Amino acid sequence: MTTDRLCDACGEERLVPFADLGDIPVLCGVHWEAHGDAVASPVGRMELAHCPRCAYVRNIAFEPDKLVYDTTMDTNLHFSPAFQRFSADLVQSLSERYDLNGKLVLDIGCGQGEFLKELTHVGGATGVGYDAMYAGETGTSGATTFHSALAPRGGGLPEYDFFTSRHWFEHLDDPYEFLVDLREQAKGREVFGYVEVPDAVYDLATAGWEVIYPHVSYFDAYSLASIFGRAGWTVESTGTLFSGMFRYIEVSANRPRAGGHVAHTGELPSMRARDKQLAAIAGFAERHHAERERWRGTIAQLNADGARPVLWGAGSRGVQFLTLADRELGLHGVVDLNPRKWGRFLPVTGHRVDPPSTLTTLQPKAVVITNPAYKEEIAKSLADLGVTAEILVA
Ligand SMILES: [Zn+2]
């Protein structure tokens, strides 16, 4: 069965459905003050389809009107020391390789602005950040200007030299049109860009806890290079970061052929990588549904053994895990490092989020995490709290 929708990435084939995840939370980054509001929060359908030519994946049931971004949403990853270290290294690398001194940098989907502030500070650049979820001071302060809004389309962007966009591109309903517009707004100037997305190779080869409603598109190396190339950008390099969970792509537009000051840091995608991704897509539905059932069983068994299992991490992956594997509220608690989530309730399932210090009293024997990149950090925190528990990676 094929849909009517042409592939957003390569534009050459129609998308083919391969997995229906049913209804999932729309606002997986929001935590509610009232339990009743949390359990009544909206759901939306997730029906994944892929392109047989370039392995692009999209939720064909996505309804953009269901998801309006505002300042009450919090998808901030910056409370984790592991993510902070990763971001600091990235700032250093981009500042040096792109010689950002005196340049104008856009950050499209800047979150709460931490990354852009650091990048302008270390690189000696000026920066303009856009994010409808940005809740800080707007306007210009020092080298940075922040807008609590989406980046303007069709004109209105300043004369940028470099743009960054981290974990936003996959949220767009029209990713191809966005890229064309961004290139056209450069008006022929030589510009460069750095874009980071979740790596679909990781997301679709595993249980799929990162398949969340706000993520409309799922890119591997091949489909990411396809969509940038079709939109008129030159792909400079691509690769994975952060234990293979993130994929970056570095691109340029209007670059003179002779120029060559950008050090290539990764390999361009191969057909073999695309074929591997198509194989992962083919097995996804069965794997996903099997993992849901396996975790339901595991949580029940841990309870039967008196292990008082908890979940560490109330981010979007955690919320998706709870929706798919713990609707029965078998877990004894959910903890998170972000103080803005404490005492609040998660969408649809209504689990309450507590500070990690509550584990000192509960003394769980099993701690479930959904993000292997944080395992070491969480193990250390548990040791500091005096909790001896097995860490289970979902
Ligand atoms: Zn395609």
**SS3 for 226-278, per residue?**
HHHHHCCCEEEEEEEECCCCEEEEEEEECCCCCCCCCCCCCCCCCHHHHHHHH
**Cα of 265 from ligand 1 centre, angstroms:** 25
Helix and strand tally (H, E) in the chain?
10, 17
Top-ranked range on mean pLDDT: pick from 38-42, 201-205, 209-213: 38-42
**Cα of 188 from ligand 1 centre, angstroms:** 27
**Cα of 354 from ligand 1 centre, angstroms:** 43
**Cα of 183 from ligand 1 centre, angstroms:** 20
Confidence band of 301 (pLDDT split at 50, 70, 90)? very high
Confidence band of 242 (pLDDT split at 50, 70, 90)? confident
Tens-digit pLDDT profile for residues 326-335: 999 999 999 9
Confidence band of 104 (pLDDT split at 50, 70, 90)? very high
**Cα of 171 from ligand 1 centre, angstroms:** 18
Both structure tokens of 109: 């989907």
**Cα of 223 from ligand 1 centre, angstroms:** 7
Rounded CA-CA distance 184/136 in Å is 29
Is the domain spanning 306-393 CATH 3.40.1390.30? The answer is: no
Rounded CA-CA distance 105/165 in Å is 11
**Cα of 222 from ligand 1 centre, angstroms:** 9
**Cα of 226 from ligand 1 centre, angstroms:** 7
Identify the pLDDT of residue 206: 83
Q: Give every CB contact of residue 357 below 8 A, 6+ residues apart in sequence.
A: 385
Both structure tokens of 219: 């890119």
Q: Is the pLDDT of residue 54 over 80?
A: yes
Domain ranges of the chain: 306-393
**9 and 227 in contact (C-beta within 8 Å)?**
yes
**Cα of 51 from ligand 1 centre, angstroms:** 5
Q: Average pLDDT over the chain, rounded to whole?
A: 93
Identify the pLDDT of residue 316: 87
Rounded CA-CA distance 90/126 in Å is 17
Confidence band of 391 (pLDDT split at 50, 70, 90)? very high
Identify the pLDDT of residue 77: 60
Tens-digit pLDDT profile for residues 6-48: 999 999 999 999 999 999 999 988 889 999 999 999 999 999 9
Tens-digit pLDDT profile for residues 67-92: 989 887 766 666 678 888 899 999 99
The amino acid at residue 273 is: A
Identify the pLDDT of residue 152: 98
**Cα of 224 from ligand 1 centre, angstroms:** 10
Q: Is the pLDDT of residue 258 over 60?
A: no
How much of the chain, in percent, has pLDDT values that exceed 90?
A: 83
Write phi, then psi, for 183 (nearest 5 degrees): -70, -40
Rounded CA-CA distance 42/23 in Å is 9
- Residues, CB within 5 angstroms of ligand 1 (ion): 7, 9-10, 51, 53-54, 56
